[in-house]
Structures are given as C-alpha cells and as structure tokens.
C-alpha cells in the first residue's frame, strides 16, 4: 500500500500518529499543493509545491559530495534574491542524469513560472512576473534513472488547482508525506518565538531514512518562517545551526548526492529590521531555529531504515570539538557497535575499538565510558562495580545513551544515530524492486 494521507489517517494507530505532531497552522505568504505524478506504482502524492505569493528570502546548504544531482546544480546556478516556488519530487533523484536531467529542470521551471505568472494575474492586486530563476527544486529517490520530466510537467496544472492558500495541520502532514521515500512516517516540527515585540513562526518538514551522514546538510529539510530576515543573515543562521543538528546525525555513514536544507522567510511579520546575526532581536529566533532543526534531525534518525533503537553518543572534555566529532562519528558509524546495540549486547569493547581508530587525541588513563548511568570504564579500566547483567538490561531500552569522557580538554559534541538491523539490509536490498 502506498503512503498517502488517507491510509495514514485510517491506520490502526491513527490517534497516536496524529497526536505525535504539533499543531502547525497557517504562515502568511506560503501556499502548499500536493499531487500524484504517478512516479510510484502505488497511488500516492509524490510531487509537492510550496508557493510564496510575494516571494521569499531564502538560504540553502547543500551536500558536499563531489557528485551532485542536477537539481542541486540548478539551485546553485540561480542568482536571485527572491524565491517564488520550491518543487519537490520523490522516487527519482535526478542524479547522474547529465544534460537530460538539467534540461528537465529548465523545462519544468519555465512551465511552473509561466503558470504561476498566470496565477498571479488571477489572484493578486499587484501581480508579479515570475521567472524560471525564481524556482528551486528538491529531488529524492533512485540515482541514475532518467528523470520523469513528462510526468511532472503533465501535473503542473493540477498543482496549480490544488494550491491551498491557508494551511492547517492536515495540509502540512500531507506535504511531509509527499516528500517521503523509504521513510515510515512524516517529519514535522514547529516553534514560535519573539523578534522584539512581534511573535514569529518557524515551521519545518524533512525526509530521510537512509543514505544519511551529513556534510553541510543531509537528506531534504525545509524551514518556513514569517520573519523578515535578509538572505545573508538567513544563510549565517542556517550554517551556524546546522553544525549541531543535521550535521550531528548519521544513520549509515553515507552522504547523498541530493542533500539540501533550505529556509524560506516570507517577511510577513512586522518587526524591526534585523541588521546582523549578532542583533539582540534575533537571539530568540536563533535558538528557536536550532530547536526546529534538532527536532527534525532526531526524527530522521528515529525513522532510520530498520531502526529499533535511537542512540545518542555524547563525547565530552576533548582537546578540540573536531576530536569530539571524530570520536562521536567513529562510534556512531561502526557496524560492529551498531549491530551490538541491535542485538542488545553491551559489548563495550567495540566502543573502545571505535574510539581508538578515530585518530583523535586521547589518553587511555583518563578515559571513562557510561551506558546511561551505568559505569563501564573509569579512568582507563573496567569499573570495579561493573555489572554485565545490569548493562544487558539497559541495552533493552529503545533509547540508548553512550557517554564518553576523554578528560583531556573542554570541548564536547553529541552525535545521534541508530542501530543496524536485518531490516536495514532487507529495505536496501529491495529498494528498487
């Protein structure tokens, strides 16, 4: 059965699922539309449009892979201060598609801009002429398959008809469902905060379950706000807050060709001008943005392909943050560590192995490790009260905390990951079948 709003709402766990999500509602200046372009065998929404009626300030961070998708190439080439639409398709990554893939972006952007310009004439008092450079794309799915240009262009008129000028929780969930691939559930988050005396909203959706280790960005994540913040400051805020959120997660250690995190600001909130990232008025917004990004990033990990456990690796008191990151990701990405966690085995020797190979500055005599509140290693030796039975019982929990104290400095870093189960292999072995 394909994933769509109908079967999502009629599932046996309907009430639980709906209650999991915050009450995202309307943000001025944003319209949403979803359709099925028949990109999957099963009938489901697989094409999503976000339409910014008066344009939106924006900023994005993209994958640092040396091989990038054609939509990322398109986005990077658009030198404009305002975006009027973001189009996201699933099932096809438009990666390793060459000239055909890029030209598809051009053709689709031209058709969307043409139809949105007509929509402006119908609905707006001061209609804008929307150009193809005002369109951004998000693509996700299989690498190397011909991009389904004809199917998508054929559904643009339906996208226009389905535009919802007013959003509610239902509309946001529908959009979040529409960008999913191997995800099992939609990912949404929201915060409200003050800029001066004005309340502003920050909403976000994301997708991702596999091919996830960030490098500047990861998966697809889209943040929307009614704040009035210029592009350059949005860029600084996004890059700053990516580092300990989306750049602190790993499901399987793999970085996609399509990774992108973007923020769009409609400027509908009436607050004082933001002049710099250090402006006191933006402090609350900065903190709220971090919470939204971290919420979404954790949801990606929790929904990792085949995941049965959510794992937090806290690395403390290192000489540098870089050392803390090296150790954290070395532990988080170790197949031996991840399979031990999946098997509920407190095999702390695998943690020792992963720390040792991280190429970070350590002194074994200072090393301490805990599983939750259980002391495993203390100052380089097995703790004298260590209990294998107690540790085994702890490993049955769905949330596992691994605390690593290097004790040679003051820098810390947290990495969020998942276990590695047989289900992960099954999902990825059958991904294209």
pLDDT score of 319 more than 70: yes
Q: Which of residues 251, 273, 302 is at a domain's end?
A: 302
Give yes or no for residue 12 having a pLDDT over 60: no
Residue 14: predicted pLDDT: 45
Please tell me the total count of domains within the chain: 2
User: Is residue 6 pLDDT above 70, yes or no?
Assistant: no
Which residue numbers are catalytic?
218
Residue with the bigger pLDDT between 337 and 6: it is 337
| Same domain assignment for residues 297 and 409 | no
CA distance 335 to 253: 10
Beta strand spans in 146-304 (E): 187-195, 198-207, 220-225, 260-265
Does the CA dihedral 294-325-379-354 come out positive or negative? positive
Model confidence, pTM = 0.92
Residues 398 and 328 in one domain: yes
Residues 293 and 381 in one domain: no
Same domain? For 61 and 165 the reply is: yes
Q: Dump the DSSP string for 402-428.
A: EEEE--SSSEEEEEEEE---HHHHHHH
Please determine, for residue 252, whether its predicted confidence score (pLDDT) is greater than 80. Answer: no
Same structural domain, 196 and 341: no
Q: Residue 63: what pLDDT?
A: 87
**What is d(CA 231, CA 285) in angstroms, rounded to the nearest whole number?**
15
pLDDT tens profile 212-240: 555 544 479 999 999 999 999 999 999 99
User: What is the Cα gyration radius of the chain?
Assistant: 23
What mean pLDDT comes out for the span 248-270? 88
Q: Are residues 280 and 347 in the same domain?
A: no
Residues 138 and 270 in one domain: yes
From 267, 285, 302, the end of a domain falls on: 302
Read off the pLDDT band of 18 (50, 70, 90).
Answer: low
342 and 364, same structural domain? Answer: yes
Same structural domain for residues 240 and 334? no
CATH at residue 406? 3.10.20.340
SS3 percent helix, strand, coil of the chain, rounded to 5, is: 35, 25, 40
User: What is the distance of C-alpha 64 from the center of its chain?
Assistant: 15
Percent of the chain with pLDDT over 90: 80
Q: 102 with 155, same domain?
A: yes
User: Binning pLDDT at 50, 70 and 90, where does residue 2 land?
Assistant: low
Domain boundary among 267, 286, 302: 302
Q: How far apart are CA 284 and CA 273, in angstroms?
A: 15
Assigned token pair, 187: 């990912």
Specify whether 344 is located in the same domain as 374.
yes
The domain in which residue 336 lies consists of 310-429
122 and 148 in a single domain? The answer is yes
**Which residues share a beta bridge with 325?**
none
**pLDDT value of residue 124:** 94
For the chain, the average pLDDT equals 92
CATH number for the domain that contains residue 139? 3.60.70.12
The model's pLDDT over 62-89, given as tens digits with 9 standing for 90+, comes to 988 889 999 999 999 999 999 999 999 9
Q: Give the mean pLDDT of 360-376.
A: 97
């Amino acid at each position: 059965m394909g994933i769509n709003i109908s079967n999502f709402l009629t599932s046996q766990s309907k009430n639980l699922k709906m209650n999991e999500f915050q009450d995202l509602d309307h943000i001025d200046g944003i319209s949403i539309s979803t359709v099925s372009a028949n990109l999957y065998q099963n009938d489901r929404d697989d094409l999503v449009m976000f339409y910014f009626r008066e344009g939106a300030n924006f900023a994005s961070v993209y994958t640092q892979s040396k091989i990038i998708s054609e939509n990322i190439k398109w986005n990077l080439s658009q030198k404009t201060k305002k975006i009027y639409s973001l189009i996201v398709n699933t099932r096809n990554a438009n990666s390793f598609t060459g000239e055909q893939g890029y030209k598809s972006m051009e053709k689709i952007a031209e058709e969307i801009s043409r139809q949105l310009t007509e929509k402006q004439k119908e609905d707006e008092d001061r209609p804008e002429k929307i150009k193809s450079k005002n369109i951004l794309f998000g693509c996700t799915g299989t690498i190397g398959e011909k991009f389904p240009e004809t199917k998508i262009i054929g559904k643009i008129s339906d996208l226009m008809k389905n535009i919802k000028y007013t959003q509610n929780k239902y509309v946001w969930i529908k959009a979040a469902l529409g960008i999913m691939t191997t995800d099992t559930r939609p990912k949404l988050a929201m915060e409200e905060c003050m800029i001066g005396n004005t309340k502003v909203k920050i909403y976000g959706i994301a997708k991702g379950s596999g091919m996830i280790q960030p490098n500047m960005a990861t998966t697809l994540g889209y943040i929307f706000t009614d704040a009035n913040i210029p592009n350059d400051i949005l860029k600084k805020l996004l890059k700053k807050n990516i580092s300990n959120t989306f750049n602190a997660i790993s499901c399987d250690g793999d970085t996609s060709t399509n990774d992108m995190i973007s923020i769009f600001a409609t400027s509908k909130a009436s607050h004082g001008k933001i002049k710099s990232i250090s402006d006191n008025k933006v402090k609350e917004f900065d903190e709220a943005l971090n919470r939204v990004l971290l919420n979404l990033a954790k949801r990606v990990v929790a929904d990792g392909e085949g995941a049965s456990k959510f794992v937090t690796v806290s690395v403390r008191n290192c000489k540098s943050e870089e050392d803390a990151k090296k150790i954290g990701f070395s532990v988080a990405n170790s197949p031996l560590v991840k399979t031990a966690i999946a098997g509920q085995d407190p095999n702390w020797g695998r943690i020792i192995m992963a720390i040792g190979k991280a190429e970070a500055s350590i002194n074994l005599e200072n090393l301490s490790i805990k599983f939750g509140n259980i002391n495993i290693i203390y100052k380089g030796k097995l703790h004298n009260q260590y209990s294998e039975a107690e540790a085994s019982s702890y490993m049955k929990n769905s949330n596992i905390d691994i605390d690593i104290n290097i004790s040679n400095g003051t820098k810390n870093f947290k990495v969020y990951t998942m276990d590695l189960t047989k289900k992960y292999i099954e999902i990825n072995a059958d991904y294209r079948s």
